[in-house]
Amino acid sequence: MINLELPKRIEDTRALLRQFSSGGLRPISRKYDLLEPKDTPQELYELSKLLGGGRNRGDTAGEGGSGNRNGNNMSMVVSSAEICWGDVGLFLALPTVGLGNAAVNAVASQQQKDEWGDLYAAMAITEPGAGSDSAAIRTTAVLDGDEWVINGEKIFVTAGYRSKQVVVWASLDLSLGKAAIKSFLVPKGTPGMTVTRVEHKLGIRASDTAQIVFDNCRVPRANLLGNPEIARTADARKKAFGGVMQTFDNTRPMVAAQALGVARAALDLTYELLADKGVALDYEKSYFQMSAVENDLYDLEAEYETARLLVLKAAWMADNRQPNSSNASMSKAKAGRMGNQVALKCVEICGQLGYSKAHLLEKFARDSKIIDIYEGTQQIQQLIIARQVLGKSSSELK
């Protein structure tokens, strides 16, 4: 039965997380935006304990055994949005939820997990010469005895400085293209892996973004995550990399959810700042009754709600094991551009006050930009959607 409201369990969690965001994150939001620290903000160690298991509980199955599920994907997008309502930079800086954790958890044995200890794994994919075209990475891993020897340079590694481990993408054989790309877990302190730089950024400054150089960095053979074989046929190779890229079908709605949080935060703060300006959205006004500012705000609300539903749909499909590649990209494309558009417009509407560092609106506008870039830029999402809708291969529609 068609229903697009959240179930009570998820709605309750969301309400709790709103308290966490407003009481825990907002008070330190500006502080870490100004500091742009390399290390994890101290307060986050205590705060992240509050999150506990609340962010990742089990599925809720449909009534009457209908099989419909509102599971982890749905919970995660709602939770992520709510924490990002507090601060998207601090959300990214939460220790213990590194982007690489999922990749490790998916394939690591219990013995490996025990050996590697508490997981806080960064994901190192992008290189100076390979961004959106992740198949073009040049970092290599060569087997030498019982160890992989990794060489190369990675940039834009979120939490690369603070994390306890790094999941790095490297090629086993550059001549075999993307099928030869595998991921490896490298614990911090491994000789040959050096954080060489931490970026200074437009936004999400509470989160560190690192450059990492691998210079004959050796890890045990078992640290290759997943299957070490390189597919033999061209077809199988395509499939193998497709499997790697499929992990993004689950992560894109999560990142899209960040834009929902920032946009909602910007709108809510805008209404606060406009409190004495006689702006009233009653959702009944005719076009001829509304002021220009109200007209803009209705527009932003419409964009926000649309993006939110696209994110929820993509997550719902993932929960229900439906192929969601194009929906995941739609959610990221729409939410990415929406979040940026909304936050920037809110600054414009609030004029001097919006632009001032006296409030967080200008910060939301800076933070919002990256969400339309990382985890696949706006244009990459459009490309993925277009290929699916038009039935084009990547060689036809480049």
Partner 1 sequence: MSSTDLLFDLTPTEEQQMSREVVRRFAREEMAVAARAADEAGALPAGFLRKTVDLGLNFMPVPEALGGVGAGRSPVSNVLTIEDLACGDMSMAIAALAPLSVINCVMDYGTDGQKEIVSQALATAEFTPAAMALMEPGIGFDARRLNTRAVLQEDGSYLLNGAKSMVAFGPEARLLLVFADTGEGVTQGFLVSRDTAGIAFEQEDYMGLRPLPLYAMTLRDVTLPASARLTAAFDLKRMVSLGKIATAALAVGTCQAVLDYVVPYVNERIAFGEPIANRQAVAFMVADIATELEGLRLMVYRAAAQAERGLDCTRIAFLAHRNAIKYGMRIGTDGVQLLGGHGFTREHPVELWYRNLRALASLDGMLLA
Name 211's Cβ contacts closer than 8 Å, sequence gap at least 6: 153, 154, 155, 156, 157, 160, 195, 196, 197, 198, 199
Closest CB to partner 1 among residues 110, 390 = 390
Interface mask (CB under 8 A) for partner 1, residues 206-245, using x and -? ----------------------------------------
Do 333 and 382 contact (CB within 8 A), yes or no?
A: yes
The pair of three-digit structure tokens given for residue 71, joined into one six-digit string: 């599971």
The span from the CA of 375 to the CA of 306, in Å, is 20
Closest CB to partner 1 among residues 350, 384 = 384
Is the alpha carbon torsion for 128, 153, 380, 341 positive or negative? negative
Work out which of 69, 182, 345, 363 binds partner 1, going by CB under 8 A: 69
DSSP state of 4: -
DSSP state of 127: B
Annotated catalytic, 5? no
Site membership for partner 1, residue 328 (CB under 8 A): no
Work out which of 14, 22, 30, 68 binds partner 1, going by CB under 8 A: 68
Work out which of 167, 262, 312, 343 binds partner 1, going by CB under 8 A: 312
Angle (CA) 20 28 263, round 5°: 65
| Sites for partner 1 among residues 331-370 (CB under 8 A) | 333-334
The strand ranges marked E within 339-387 are: none
Interface mask (CB under 8 A) for partner 1, residues 37-66, using x and -? -----------------------x-xx--x
The span from the CA of 323 to the CA of 396, in Å, is 22
Work out which of 297, 310, 361, 365 binds partner 1, going by CB under 8 A: 310
Kindly list the residues in this chain that would bind partner 1 in the complex (CB under 8 A): 1-8, 60, 62-63, 66, 68-70, 74, 283-284, 286-289, 298-299, 301-303, 305-307, 309-310, 312-313, 316, 326-327, 330, 333-334, 379, 381-383, 385-387, 389-392, 396-398
